[in-house]
Amino acid sequence: MITTVRSFVSRHAWSLSLAGLAAVAFARLAREIQEGELGPVDKAAADWLVAGRGRWDLPMLALTRLGTFSGLATVCVSFALLFGALGRRREGGYLLVCGAGAGLWCDLLKLFFHRARPDALSQYLVKSPHSFSFPSGHAMGSAAVFGSIVVLTYVLRLRRVWRFLATAIGVSLLLGVAASRVYLGVHYPSDVVGGQLAAAAWVAAVTGWFYPRRWRSESARTGF
């Protein structure tokens, strides 16, 4: 039993570390929110984004639509089917687990923390959803989906230029989706940061499970 545990930890050391760090950061953020410590920080960050209203309406609306369940599901399933068609079922399954799991975890976390949405007067161009505010589903879902796609560019060892391009686009999209929720007044900045941290913990854990550190006797297809 002890040998099995040591073997598991050894094979998943990097993913367990990343997942643990992200989970600890998420827990610390949640504690600060519950204690009311982040009000000034939330307000300052929200005011900075809200100052752009009127100039960034169209891209922010487009980004927030991309971050909906239907938008992210379309991206996730499309890439999963593409990988399946290319004979990469493992990669397709990895994407689906990352995306679907993030959605499930987000719903559970919302129910646990019960954080109310920002005041209705803060809303801009869209109506506030009826769900709880923390963590942001848009932020968590986009970080999980786009983050896992970026991870696969490294798993598949694509050329450096393609990895760089995918990383730049993926990070821009997940940050843009998160910013759009604050811009439109339906989330606090700490909501979107919480969603991204929760997604990072989940994706790191799933990545470690699907692609653990290889032993010398293992095939190169099983991991990095």
Report the CATH number that the domain containing residue 122 is assigned in CATH.
1.20.144
Give the position of tokens 């032993």.
Answer: 215
Q: Give the pLDDT score at 223.
A: 46
Total count of domains within the chain: 1
- Give the separation between CA 105 and CA 198, rounded to whole angstroms: 8
Q: Express each pLDDT in 186-201 by its tens digit.
A: 999 999 999 999 999 9
Domain annotation covers residue 197: yes
**Closest by Cα among 142, 132, 139, 141 to 109:** 132
Query: What's the N-to-C CA distance of the chain in angstroms?
Result: 27
Domain annotation covers residue 136: yes
- Residue 219: left (phi > 0), alpha (psi -120 to 50), or beta? beta
Domain annotation covers residue 218: no
Domain annotation covers residue 6: no
Q: Give the pLDDT score at 212.
A: 83
Higher pLDDT, 15 or 69: 69
Torsion of CA 104, 5, 24, 133, to 10 degrees: 10
Locate all alpha helices (DSSP H) within 86-218, ordered by sequence. Answer: 89-113, 137-155, 160-183, 189-210
Structure tokens that stand for 128 in this block: 């506030």
- Give the separation between CA 173 and CA 162, rounded to whole angstroms: 16
Domain annotation covers residue 29: yes
Q: Residue 51, SS3?
A: coil
Is residue 124's pLDDT more than 60?
yes
Residue 123: how many other CB atoms lie within 10 Å: 14
- Give the separation between CA 62 and CA 83, rounded to whole angstroms: 26
Q: Give the pLDDT score at 15.
A: 86
- Give the separation between CA 95 and CA 80, rounded to whole angstroms: 6
Domain annotation covers residue 33: yes
Is residue 80's pLDDT more than 80?
yes
Domain annotation covers residue 223: no
- Give the separation between CA 208 and CA 161, rounded to whole angstroms: 25
Torsion of CA 49, 65, 116, 46, to 10 degrees: 0
Q: Which domain holds residue 21?
A: 15-212
Q: What's the average model confidence in pLDDT over 29-42?
A: 95
Q: 3: pLDDT confidence band, cut at 50, 70 and 90?
A: low
Higher pLDDT, 212 or 89: 89
Q: What's the average model confidence in pLDDT over 117-135?
A: 92
Arithmetic mean of pLDDT over the chain:
91
- Residue 131: left (phi > 0), alpha (psi -120 to 50), or beta? beta
Q: What's the average model confidence in pLDDT over 100-108?
A: 98
The pTM of the full predicted model, rounded to 2 decimals, is 0.91
- Do the beta carbons of residue 215 and residue 7 sit within 8 Å? no
Domain annotation covers residue 10: no
